Amino acid sequence: MACCTAADHVTSSAVESTRPLFWGIAGVWVFYAVAALAIVVFVQGVAARVLAWRRAGRGRLPALDASRLWSMARNGLLGLRIFRGDAGAGLMHLLIAWGFLGLFAGTALLSIHEWIVPFLVGDVYLIYSATMEVFGLLLLAGLLWAGVRRYVVRTGRLSRTPGDLVPLLWLGLVGVTGFLLEGARLGAGGAVRLGDWSFVGEALTAIRLPRDQRLVVYQGLWWTHALLSLGLVAWIPRSKLLHTLVAPLNLMVESSPEPSPMGRGQGEGTEPEPTLRARDLLAIDACTRCGRCVDACPSRAAGEPLSPREVVQALRTGPVAAATQTGPGRDLWYCTACLACREVCPVEVTPLELVARLRGAVIEEGSAVPPKLGETLERLHKYQNPWVSKKGQKAAWARDLELEAPELEPAWLYFVGCTTSLDTRAQAIARSIATVLARCGVAFGTLGKKEPCCGDIGRRVGERGLFEDQREATAALLDERGARRVVTSSPHCFDTIARAYGPGREVLHYSQLLARLIDEGKLELARASEGPTKATYHDPCFLGRHNGVYDEPRRVLAAVPGIELVEMEAHGASSVCCGGGGGRMWQTELPDKGDLAGRRIGQAVATGARLLVTACPLCLVMLEDARKTAGLEDRIEVVDLCELVARHLAAAPEGAGE
Amino acid sequence: MNILVCVKAVPETAEAELEISRSGDAVETDDLVFGINEWDAYAVEEAVRLKEARGGTITALSLGGDEAEDVLRRALAMGCDEAIRLEDDELAGSDPATVARALARAIEVRGLEPDLILTGVQSADTGYGQIGVLLAQRLDLPHATLAVGLELEPDAGRIVVQRELEAGTLERVELPLPGLVTVQSGINRPRYVSIMGIRKVRSKTIEQLGVDDLELGKVGPAAAVWSLRTLSLPPAGARAEMLEGSLAQVCARAAEIVREKGGRR
């Protein structure tokens, strides 16, 4: 492969331009021996990785999906995701990748020319030669840029370990010795002078050497270049350059994020110790430590120690149980499962899947589970909610609400959810949803006092058994009630029931149902008295990034008369987490906790909006608390989307919606 | 080193609204959720830590019905090796002395020769705090109560116990083994038991012993030295005062009350 690079062109006769590989080189067999060794080492390195993936057994790699080839082409070959938010990095990578690929292709062509059909002769060779010059320059320019970014500009997110430096230097040396070799060969008379067709080599002949040293220098450079190139080949599978092979593969198999150790319909019964799956190992091998996940992490931004990159790296070197003993292993309770890390990853690694794996290991081992989390999980197990150690409280929100008894066959099962049922602030969401649905003539029922926890918390904190029990119980209850259509208050319940329960139900978040009712003309909203109001919308992570529901809540907002939407700078896919997800809501004892919700409400206030609208009970509770803590009561109001809708119901009778 | 640890299933009452049964001598437990007695969880954890450090086996022993079965299952998941449940139908209404007699007989009948017996200091429901001491008497073993620290001597012939006394004082006592220690809360941090952990020990058998196996003679209320008459809920206090007004006013009034009652001056 890269054994002969850009500038390595020689012609054999004065008559016609072409390339003899070994002009002036003795002991060609040594070259072939080393090349064979390099290839063996390379293959052995790749095979070791593939075997490791296969050994991971359970959960084989997902089948390659033809529709993913397009993603691989865009994000693997062109690296389009690298351009996001950092065009310079994208261009830099494109130069290196295509410089390298071009030279690799050139070497492949040369091999064909040497061993199969000689075709690099005459004009074809001239074009070939000039093209290789260009690719060589692209590579060197990209490498130089990369070096400047990492070591001169010192871009914050980039690490500067030996593992980052050596690949840059090595690739650079291969390129530079290639050009020098070309120059030396031309100087030593080992090739027809091609003039502008090998412009770099020609330029380098300006370096004058004594006549008797020319051949020796050329031979020295030849071997240096050959050995460096072969060494690089051998080293690729053991370096971060492994990503050149694995990242495209990762992009191909990653069709949708399943950020949990408990995907759809998997794992009934007992499981052995939590281990990494083939899918995880692939992602770990694809990681290049670029650090975008660190920059995107809301926990990190709030000054907490979690680093998604370090979590991935900790698992690269050791087993899951060992990783839980390291720094990143201890920091994993800060993760809010917001998915921002995957959103920005150029190769679609999902660090939060690995966080979930680590959490599972800690939970099963037991002794390092944070006490408050342990209490929450026990409460979830015994009382089917994370809030109160008391049974039969789930329907308390509806006590003072006058609702007509549901029809015989309600069209929708309204899954209220723990926080919406039990938190005094969030209960307003349940009341407004019930009111709005009733007003639209939507027949709905609930599971009332018997509603279990959907399992979201267990799923996110890695309490796999608890999640499985709750999934089973909830699914059975839904089936018993004949609930084929489920609407939820919480994006968390929505995500879990829609994506982890298996098929057979239509599951919507209420914002989607409201958008549908507006489209159907069943939900009519009137102008409220106070006049036009600026509002901003906070995308809940489990509605937006996790499920791609960005549009419907905004359509509902647009339908509310008098509301003018002003977006925060970070919205949609780049929305910033409130800090309540991934079990963080119940992790009140984390040391050095950052103020995630405070940062987010600050961003909302900066828009000048009077209303901060969200569509998740956890976001509502977190942001409402932050509003009070920051003393922003007079500046902004935090309101759930459905609460806002209920306020604007056409000709609302007294008291509706609250 | 063989350890025996006694555990009890108790109803969780921290947030529950308690009701007294119609007979007036029991708490209605139908709507209550049972779990391991807090002090016993510390005792089991301590036993498992001793085992992890020094080897040996742990037997968990409980008296009770299905709830006791669940609690023993949990003890197994935490690291106990065997579990024995004494059926409680006929033992219902027994006083602590009879319960201790039953536990002691179970140890004898099963031929267990524990080097160390651990119990919780007390149970969260009745709070008598007698079982550990009575059991030691029955088995003629030395005992130490209110342990907040255990250190096993290298030859395992003795154990050094830190006892929690009043006002933060500690007492160090040395106990020859075999002996019995009642464990105070806070001695350690009991590990979390996952649902999967419970599932893993689902197939382990929990040995059951009845009153007949134990040849206990008279049990229940008939054998009790004393009996429970009635339970009552504490009357709601009448002296609650809701402070109203602005935050500053509320704070000022609260400070005033503290001063009036002889608090900080």
Give me the pLDDT at residue A580, please.
Answer: 95
Cα torsion B107, B113, B114, B117: sign: positive
Give me the pLDDT at residue A61, please.
Answer: 59
What distance lies between CA A428 and its chain's CA centroid? 34
What average pLDDT does the segment B12-22 reach? 89
Rounded Cα–Cα distance for residues B191 and B59 (Å): 18
* Contact residues, chain A, for B199 at CB < 8 Å: 269-270, 465
pLDDT at A371 over 80: yes
CB A188 within 8 A of CB A218: yes
User: Taking CB atoms and an 8 Å limit, are B14 and A389 in contact across chains?
Assistant: yes
Which residues are paired to A637 by β-bridges? A611
Give me the pLDDT at residue A263, please.
Answer: 36
Distance from CA of A374 to the nearest CA of B (A): 6
User: Taking CB atoms and an 8 Å limit, are B195 and A466 in contact across chains?
Assistant: yes
Using DSSP's 3-state secondary structure scheme, residue B182 falls into strand
Nearest CA in chain B to A267: B196
Rounded Cα–Cα distance for residues B40 and A144 (Å): 65
Give me the pLDDT at residue A261, please.
Answer: 41
**pLDDT, greater one: A420 or A327:** A420
Q: Which residue type does B13 have?
A: T
Residue identified by tokens 């650079």 is A172
Which one of A249-253, A574-578, B25-29 scores highest in mean pLDDT? A574-578
Using DSSP's 3-state secondary structure scheme, residue B149 falls into strand
Give me the pLDDT at residue B239, please.
Answer: 78
pLDDT in tens, A145-178: 999 999 999 988 999 999 999 999 999 999 999 9
Rounded Cα–Cα distance for residues A539 and A572 (Å): 6
User: Taking CB atoms and an 8 Å limit, are B192 and A383 in contact across chains?
Assistant: no
Give me the pLDDT at residue A606, please.
Answer: 97
Give me the pLDDT at residue A265, please.
Answer: 35
DSSP class of residue A14 equals: S
Which residues are paired to B147 by β-bridges? B163, B183
What average pLDDT does the segment A304-313 reach? 92
pLDDT in tens, B173-204: 999 999 999 999 999 999 999 999 999 999 99
Distance from CA of A629 to the nearest CA of B (A): 15
Give me the pLDDT at residue A60, please.
Answer: 56
Surface-to-core class of residue A104, CB atoms within 10 Å of its CB (0-12 exposed, 13-18 middle, 19+ buried): middle
* Contact residues, chain B, for A377 at CB < 8 Å: 192
Distance from CA of B41 to the nearest CA of A (A): 13
Give me the pLDDT at residue A256, please.
Answer: 46
Nearest CA in chain A to B48: A367
* Percentage of chain A exceeding pLDDT 90: 63
Q: Does the interface ipTM go beyond 0.95?
A: no
What average pLDDT does the segment A628-651 reach? 93
What average pLDDT does the segment A23-38 reach? 91
Rounded Cα–Cα distance for residues A340 and B82 (Å): 47
CB A198 within 8 A of CB A328: no
Residue identified by tokens 């116990």 is B161
Whether B30 and chain A come into contact, CB under 8 Å, resolves to no
For residue A417, give every residue at least 6 positions away whose Cβ sits within 8 Å of its Cβ, in sequence order, or none: A451, A454, A488, A489, A490, A492, A493, A617
Whether B247 and chain A come into contact, CB under 8 Å, resolves to no
What average pLDDT does the segment B216-225 reach? 88
Cβ neighbours, 10 Å, residue A629? 12
Surface-to-core class of residue B264, CB atoms within 10 Å of its CB (0-12 exposed, 13-18 middle, 19+ buried): exposed
Rounded Cα–Cα distance for residues A578 and A631 (Å): 17
Provide the token pair at B103. Answer: 């536990």
Give me the pLDDT at residue A62, please.
Answer: 61
Mean pLDDT across chain A, nearest whole number?
87
Using DSSP's 3-state secondary structure scheme, residue A435 falls into helix
Which one of A26-40, A99-113, A312-326, A505-519 scores highest in mean pLDDT? A505-519
Give me the pLDDT at residue A579, please.
Answer: 96
Rounded Cα–Cα distance for residues A323 and A274 (Å): 12
Going by pLDDT thresholds of 50, 70 and 90, the confidence category of residue A487 is very high
User: Taking CB atoms and an 8 Å limit, are A391 and B31 in contact across chains?
Assistant: yes
**pLDDT, greater one: B226 or A327:** B226
Q: Strand ranges (DSSP E) for A400-464?
A: 412-415, 444-445
Which residues are paired to A613 by β-bridges? A537, A639
Give me the pLDDT at residue A65, please.
Answer: 66
* Percentage of chain A exceeding pLDDT 70: 89
Nearest CA in chain B to A375: B192
Give me the pLDDT at residue A406, please.
Answer: 59
CB A621 within 8 A of CB A595: no
Using DSSP's 3-state secondary structure scheme, residue A346 falls into coil
DSSP class of residue B22 equals: T
* Contact residues, chain B, for A271 at CB < 8 Å: 196
